[in-house]
Every structure is written in C-alpha cells, then in structure tokens.
Amino acid sequence: MATLPTYNTKQIEKSYDIAREMYSAFHVDTDDVLKKLETIPVSLHCWQGDDVGGFEHTESSSSGGIQATGNYPGKARNADELRQDIDKALSLIPGKHRINLHAIYAETQGKKVERDALTPEHFSCWVDWAKEKGLGVDFNPTCFAHPLADSGFTLSHSDRSIREFWIRHCIICREIGAYFGKTLEKTCVTNIWIPDGYKDLPVDRFGPRQRLKESLDEIFAKPIDEQWNKDSIESKLFGIGSECYVVGSHEFYLGYAVQKQKILCLDMGHFHPTEGVADKLSSVLLYVPEVLLHISRGVRWDSDHVVIVNDDVSALMDEIARGNLFARVHIGLDFFDASINRISAWVTGTRAVLRALLKSLLEPTPLLKGLENTGDFTSRLALLEEIKNLPWSAVWDYYCLKKDVPIGINWLHEVKKYEQAVLAQRKG
Ligand code: RNT
Ligand code: ZN
C-alpha cells in the first residue's frame, strides 16, 4: 500500500481554532455543535459483519430477496467473532452508539431452537457484552431465510398456521426487545420487515394486505412496556422475487403506523430512485410519533451499498438537524457489502453518517431561515452553496482527536492490522 498521510495533533488543534472563528462569523458555535454530536447514537447493524448470515445454519434457500455479494475473506463465523469485529469497528468510530441485532444472531449452544421458541436467554451474551460496553441494542425478527418463508410469504401467507408461526416469532422478538431495553436501561426499537410479495402480476392485491394487517394486529395486541420496547414497521417498493407486488408497501405501513401510532421505518433503498427520504420526514412526522431510518445507498436498485457522504445522506441529515428531530428520529444503518473488508464497511459507513451529521449541525440554519422568510431566495441559494466550503472537516478531525479515535484515513491502518492479525486466521 502506498504511504497514507499521518496527522499532527498541533495542526489539528490549530485548524480547529481557525474553523471555530470562521463558523462564529455565521453565528455557529462549533463547541456546542460537538457537544450535541456526541449525544446522537447511530445503530450499527450487526449483519454487515457476516453478510446477513446469522448462526442458525438453516436448510432454507429463501434470502427474502436481500443478498450480500462478494466473498472477501475473514467474515465472522460465530457470535464471539462478530462481537470482536464490532468492537474493532466501534474503536474507530467517535461517540457512543447502538447495536442492531436480528433474531438469527441468537446463541443456542449448537442446539436447534425454532424461531417461535427463542427466549431472552439466547441473547444473554449479547446483552452482557452490550452492558459492558455501554451500548443500547435494537432488534429485528427474522422473517426470511427459513423453510416457512420459502414460498415468499410470511405474515401475509394464505395458510393460517404459517402466519401463526411468524406471529409467534414477532411477539417473542418484541419480548426480547423489552428484555434488551430493560436490562440495558436503553429503550430498544424492534423493527418488523417481511419479504412478502409476488414476482409476477398479482390478481388479488387486497387479500395479502388484509392478512398482514390482521397479523400485525395480533402481534401488537400483546402489551409490552413502551419504556423498554418500541415497535417499528418497514416498507419496501420491490425486492428480488417480489418485483410486481410487495404486500408491505409504503402506503400500507404509513397507514398502519398512523392508525396505530407505531414507528415508521424508512429505508433509503426502498423508494423510487428519485424519491428522497429527506423530503418525507416533515410529512410523516406530523402523523406518526417517531421514525426509524435505515441509512443505505442504493445503486440503481436497493443494492445496500456502503453509505458515503452523498447528496441523499446530506439532505437527510440537514432535515433532521434543521428540525432538531433527534428525539423522534432513530438513526440506523442498513447495508451489507461482502466484497470489501467488512469492518471497513462499518467504519466507512458510520463515519460517513456522522460526518454528514456534523456538517448539517454546523449549518447556519437561522441565517438561512431568515433569508427564506423574507423571500430572499437569491441569497438563500447563494449562501447554501457557499457554506459547502466552510471547514467542517477541521471540526471533524478535532472531534476524532477529542474522542480518541484515529484521525482521517488513519483508521484504515488499524483495520489492515486487524485483517492480518485476526481475519486472516479465519479459515472455513
Ligand atoms: C430488507 C430490509 C431489511 C433488511 C434487514 C436485514 O430490504 O431493508 O431492513 O435489510 O432487516
Ligand atoms: Zn432496511
């Protein structure tokens, strides 16, 4: 590898001082912004670490239409390795964050435990670890990669007994969510996503949606203390194998979330390519209590590429920061790339979200709103464009310095060292 740059602490502090002055000319206090940034957690999805595999070793071929492509060596083969990898990633990301688990990451000591028979005990190692690290945990039922999902239908299946299996699984997951919340004293968000849909033209569009609604009603009928577990539902436009019809569409879940006051999960890869999730927040938050974001990067389709600071992510963070929506918007990640070092994927993606967030928090919003309110759209656009040049990267470097994580690309050295020392030893 060509030599990467190194960073000098004095230089970073000097640059920060200059940046602070430049921002104060726009009435932005960079110290306050950094205090705010450290309070905002990002939920790191465990499934980037093993290509959404889980530890069940199921006989099923149903991926639910989601697939990580690539075979970069060294993926985590068990929960200990996955935790070790997440630890490494977290050590390279500034701030205190959360972990997002799926039911297939249960630890059953080699025993086969059906998904409708899982208990909090199967997640006790995750909880012990999270407690030790001070992390909150979020959760997801896994309604794919299972023989009873092979038909492509789960909660909306026409067979009542199959629906009931998935209903039991989702109820159990809400209970496990509450266990995470209570034990860690940090509310867990449990998000339901199902793959249900038709590859080709459906004739009855109502039936599956009516069944999904009934299933959700049964799942949520079980009272669970919202102090510890909150319910979230995630829509999708289409998937591989569900190109013509997805039961849980945006309209379906938006309606459901409004009616039942549930958290609406908006995944950036789950809309028409020119539709932006940023634009939706100010509408849906008038009607639903909270939103969960699955920050992702779709390339031509819902491809779940690693997140970078692009226009979509920047616009989304602008929207949250401008409205100070942090109490009502949960920031989660959802991408999986098996073609590059998986720890680097987490670090690149999470640092990208935090960098975009910082950039947005540094925006002189009151100034811009003032221009907007007086109808000076000329100045609004000119200023929006000029502030892109403000030295937010100096503020970021300083934040990393203060949080004792590598500055700039230095984190990559750590990942490469870890790859040599740990990942390279994982064979088979
Ligand atoms: C699938 C959804 C869902 C999954 C995870 C693994 O399209 O985005 O959120 O990616 O639950
Ligand atoms: Zn998602």
pLDDT tens digit sequence for 272-314: 999 999 999 999 999 999 999 999 999 999 999 999 999 999 9
Query: Residue 131: is it exposed, middle or buried by C-beta count within 10 angstroms (0-12/13-18/19+)?
Result: middle
From the list 184, 187, 189, 166, the residue with the least C-alpha distance to 101 is 189
Q: What was the pLDDT predicted at 65?
A: 82
Q: Is the pLDDT of residue 221 over 70?
A: yes
User: Which of left, alpha, beta for 233 (phi over 0: left; psi -120 to 50: alpha)?
Assistant: beta
Q: Is the pLDDT of residue 352 over 60?
A: yes
At residue 384's C-alpha, the angle toward residues 380 and 390, to 5°, is 140
| Cβ atoms 143, 192 nearer than 8 A | yes
Cα 76 to Cα 394: distance, rounded to the nearest angstrom:
35
Q: What was the pLDDT predicted at 229?
A: 98
Q: Is the pLDDT of residue 141 over 60?
A: yes
Classify each residue of 253-273 as buried b or exposed e, where b means 16 or more C-beta atoms within 10 Å of its C-beta.
Answer: bbebbeeeebbbbbbbbbbee
Which atom of ligand 1 is the closest one to the Cα of 234? 9
Q: For the chain, give the number of residues.
A: 428
Instruction: Say how far residue 345 (Cα) sits from the centre of its chain.
Output: 13
List C-alpha distances in Å: 23 to 42, 224, 247: 25, 46, 48
Mean of pLDDT values over 106-127: 97
- Pocket residues for ligand 1 (CB within 6 Å)? 47, 52, 66, 140, 193, 234, 236, 267, 294, 334
From the list 303, 290, 287, the residue with the least C-alpha distance to 338 is 303
Mean of pLDDT values over 363-386: 98
Tokens 């539709």 belong to residue: 275
Domain locations along the chain: 7-28+362-423, 41-351
The pTM of the whole model exceeds 0.85: yes
User: Which of left, alpha, beta for 404 (phi over 0: left; psi -120 to 50: alpha)?
Assistant: left
User: Tell me: the pLDDT tens digits for 59-95?
Assistant: 777 788 888 999 999 999 999 999 999 999 999 999 9
- Joined tokens for residue 159: 């067979």
Please choose from 234, 293, 295, 305 the residue to mutate so as to test ligand 1's pocket, defined by most ligand atoms within 8 A of CB: 234
Instruction: Say how far residue 104 (Cα) sits from the centre of its chain.
Output: 17
Cα torsion at 324, 327, 328, 329 (round to 10°)?
80
Ligand whose nearest atom lies closest to the CA of 65: 1
Cβ neighbours of 332 (radius 10 Å): 25
Q: What was the pLDDT predicted at 428?
A: 65
Classify each residue of 168-179 as buried b or exposed e, where b means 16 or more C-beta atoms within 10 Å of its C-beta.
Answer: bbbbbbbbbbbb
Which atom of ligand 1 is the closest one to the Cα of 265? 9
Beta bridge partners of 231: 190
Cα 193 to Cα 64: distance, rounded to the nearest angstrom:
10
| Ramachandran angles phi, psi of 131, nearest 5° | -65, -45
Catalytic residue ranges = 193, 234, 236, 267, 270, 294, 302, 304, 334
Q: Is the pLDDT of residue 58 over 90?
A: no
User: Tell me: the pLDDT tens digits for 391-401?
Assistant: 999 999 999 99
Q: Is the pLDDT of residue 225 over 90?
A: yes
Q: What was the pLDDT predicted at 219?
A: 98
Q: Sorting pLDDT into bands at 50, 70 and 90, what band is 182?
A: very high
Mean of pLDDT values over 211-219: 98
Cα 84 to Cα 94: distance, rounded to the nearest angstrom:
18
60-69, 141-150, 333-342, 363-372: segment of lowest average pLDDT: 60-69
Q: Which helix (H) or strand (E) holds 57?
A: none
Q: What was the pLDDT predicted at 266?
A: 98
CATH pick for 41-351 out of 3.40.50.800, 3.20.20.150, 3.40.50.261, 3.40.630.10: 3.20.20.150
Mean of pLDDT values over 172-188: 98
Q: What was the pLDDT predicted at 1?
A: 56
Mean of pLDDT values over 121-145: 98
Tokens 């025993």 belong to residue: 111
Mean of pLDDT values over 248-277: 97
Residue spans of alpha helices (H) in 265-376: 277-284, 311-322, 342-361, 365-373
| Cβ atoms 25, 410 nearer than 8 A | no
Mean of pLDDT values over 317-339: 98
5-14, 166-175, 190-199, 371-380: segment of lowest average pLDDT: 5-14
Please choose from 140, 193, 264 the residue to mutate so as to test ligand 1's pocket, defined by most ligand atoms within 8 A of CB: 193
User: Tell me: the pLDDT tens digits for 406-424?
Assistant: 999 999 999 999 999 999 9
Q: Is the pLDDT of residue 385 over 90?
A: yes
**Across the chain, what does the average pLDDT equal?**
96
Kindly report the protein residue whose alpha carbon is nearest to atom 1 of ligand 1: 66
